[in-house]
Homo-oligomer: A and B are copies of this chain.
Amino acid sequence: MSPRPSVQAQRREEVLAATCEMIAEVGFRNVRVSDVARRAGISTGVVHYYFGTKEQMLDDAFRYAVQQARQRSLASIQDVPSARDRLDAVLDVQLPTQDSDLEWPLWLHLWAEALMRPPLQELNRASYENWIALIEGIILAGQASGEFRKVSAHDVTLQLLTMIDGLVIQSTLGAKDLDARRVRELVYAFVESALGTAMADDFAST
């Protein structure tokens, strides 16, 4: 009868977005409720009104970020037919472009925090399985269509995803010669060596 529900949902999302920004900027342990409130343009009371405790707010923010990332990656492969192009699209969305990326710091904080919080471990686990399913699906399709070499899709997926994580960590932390371009180069090189040259592979297996 009133537009209240949408107002509530919207307010909640604003707070979650503000929280994600704060986590990425100052780190999980330094986020203050008052920071989030200020950034969301509300009073601290509202945060507790919607989330009860700071901890709950932070957990929900991680959940929100995971969900947003998933939606973004799904959108990126919408209407992309070729497996190779789909893989490129997903990687392109996920890999950082600039050093000022706010997403990857968030994941780092999630992992560090999850070490001590089983619910966050569960969140990470579910998220990771989603990533695996997405990438592995693309690889399997590409193998079926002859675009990719026929190796263990699951193993390559794990190697690819974890290599990305590791590379982006060091890149984000300013490892020498590991800028965004170099990260992509190394990732694509791995993809090529693991899945590429389908011809040669087919040839070899004959």
Contacts from A to B (Cβ < 8 Å): 26-30, 105, 108-109, 111-116, 121, 124-125, 128-129, 155, 158-159, 161-167, 169-170, 172-176, 178, 186, 189-190, 193-194
Contacts and interface: CB of A to CB of B under 8 A. Distances in A.
A124 B28 contact: no
A170 B128 contact: yes
Nearest to A30: B116
A164 to B, nearest CB: 7
Task: State the main secondary structure of chain A at its contact with B.
Answer: helix
11 contacts: A27-B112, A27-B116, A109-B112, A111-B173, A124-B173, A125-B174, A128-B170, A155-B186, A158-B178, A162-B163, A165-B170
**Copy count, this protein chain:** 4
Contacts of A28: 29, 112
Contact of A162 (B30, B108, B167, B174): B167
B27 A113 contact: yes
Top 8 closest A-B pairs, CB basis? A162-B166, A29-B29, A165-B166, A112-B112, A166-B166, A163-B163, A162-B167, A27-B116
Contact of A129 (B27, B111, B176, B190): B176
Nearest to A174: B121
A193 B108 CA distance: 29
Most chain B beta-carbon contacts within 10 A, residue among A30, A163, A165, A174: A163
